[in-house]
Amino acid sequence: MIDLAQLRREPDVVKAALARRGVSSALMDEIIALDVEHRRLLQEAERLRAEVKELSRQVGEARRAKDTATAETLTEQSREVGERERVANEAVEAVAATLRGELLLIPNLPSEDTPDGVDENDNIEVRRWWPGMDDGAAFPTFGDHQRLPHWDVAKELNILDLEAGAKLAGSMFPLYRGDGSRLLRALGAFALDQHRDAYEEIRPPSFALTETMMSTGHLPKSQDDMYAIERDDLWAIPTAEVPLTSMRRGDILDEAELPLRMTAQTACFRREAGSAGRDTRGLLRVHEFDKVELFAYCTPEQAPAAHADILARAENLLRLLGLPYRVLDLCAGDLGTSSARTVDLEVFSPGVDRWLEVSSVSWFRDFQARRANVRYRSENGTQFVHTVNGSALAWARIWAALVEINRQEDGSVAIPAVLQPYLGGQTHLRVPTS
């Protein structure tokens, strides 16, 4: 959550920053008023507590002096003040809960580098890459054989069975089969191997406690998009960012440990609430998908380099796979709740003739660390870490783009050279022969 001390110290600065994200000044004034009231009530409760303590001391003195009448009078006063203290404490707790509830819904302050804008239409394209670009080649043109949507390519090759997935779990739960399943597994193994030089591989649980989901900012803001197991107070994770952010929840790290880097491949679950039939064909928008995540705890000074490293790794994977992509700098109005800055990578998929988001690389400042209470100890004292994370990569749309771009005129799909060792040397996905 945002730094309440900063809001007290620089209310106009915070309000101006959040206005870039559409947060009204009036709402922030309400929060400021709640904070003032909370501190006033807290001071009153503390004053009453001190008064009860003093009256108790006086009762003790009166009893030691065998002044029963005074002791009884003071005891009655203590009971009355104690009741007022109880009421004051209840008021403190009520206002504190309201204040926290409001703060949990306030997004992070966008960084100064984040462009202004209202929604995805205002995002800025930074650059593009495609195979052969460095040698002067133009952006690729795609033949008719590459313009077939991946769901039709997959049907020909018998590598994706959307009907079976729907029968088992409902629509938008894909079922991969045969070489399609092997291709998905190869992508994950390939990416994890690329990151093992600097990132510790983690295999976290696929479910998380409410407190864990709160730490990243997915709750309460995005509750409608999460899968809940209410009986057990568990949620299916929407990304490995959730468990990785809470790996050191409540800990104080040594500055020498930072940056602390981790990677994980997990299944990710999203209800896609509000999609209302939009982009629901094939693998464009699904309820379950596999993704490799990169994550780092770091100091504020280390954060830019950590962000750049994750972005570079995600781009490198796309280049090794030979997929044309573009880099988007997200505007303030399109940032996720917890993000201060986000850069997206989108791959061009000729079969559906559109750009598909396959990675978001985000810097959260100390927004998530405040929720998770992850701090580090330096010569300047104890302070919250910064968190950075990004997808490298999300596989459903990568899988879709690969089978479209690499489709050959004979209907087979060429396997990128970097993936062939993970498929036993196989070079193509071919139409099954009877």
Q: Is 285 a catalytic residue?
A: yes
Would you say 412 and 426 are in contact if contact means Cβ atoms under 8 Å apart? no
Catalytic, 360? Answer: yes
Determine which one of 215, 397, 404, 407 is catalytic.
397
Residue ranges of the chain with pLDDT lower than 50? none
**Digit-coded pLDDT (tens) for 153-171:** 999 999 999 999 999 999 9
In the chain the domains, ranked by start, together with CATH numbers, are 4-104 (1.10.287.40), 120-429 (3.30.930.10)
Q: What is the pLDDT of residue 140?
A: 94
- Known active-site residue 357: yes
Q: How far apart are CA 148 and CA 143, in angstroms?
A: 10
- By CB atoms closer than 10 A (0-12, 13-18, 19+), residue 135 is exposed
Question: Residue 432 has what pLDDT?
Answer: 80
| Per-residue confidence (pLDDT) for residue 409, from 0 to 100 | 96
Residue of 255, 238, 360 whose CA lies nearest to 297: 255
Concerning whether 49 is annotated as a catalytic residue, the answer is: no
Residue 249 appears among annotated catalytic residues: no
- What is the pLDDT, as a whole number, of residue 272? 86
Q: What is the pLDDT of residues 211-231, one digit of tens each?
A: 999 999 999 999 999 999 999
Q: Which of 20, 182, 261, 270 is catalytic?
A: 270
CA distance 186 to 417: 12
> The tokens of 379 are what?
């010569």
Per-residue pLDDT at 277:
61
Q: How far apart are CA 310 and CA 317, in angstroms?
A: 11
- pLDDT at residue 275, rounded to an integer: 62
Distance between CA atoms of residues 263 and 193, nearest Å: 10
The catalytic position among 182, 261, 285, 371 is 285
The predicted model scores a pTM of 0.93
From the candidates 37, 44, 255, 357, give the one annotated as an active-site residue. Answer: 357
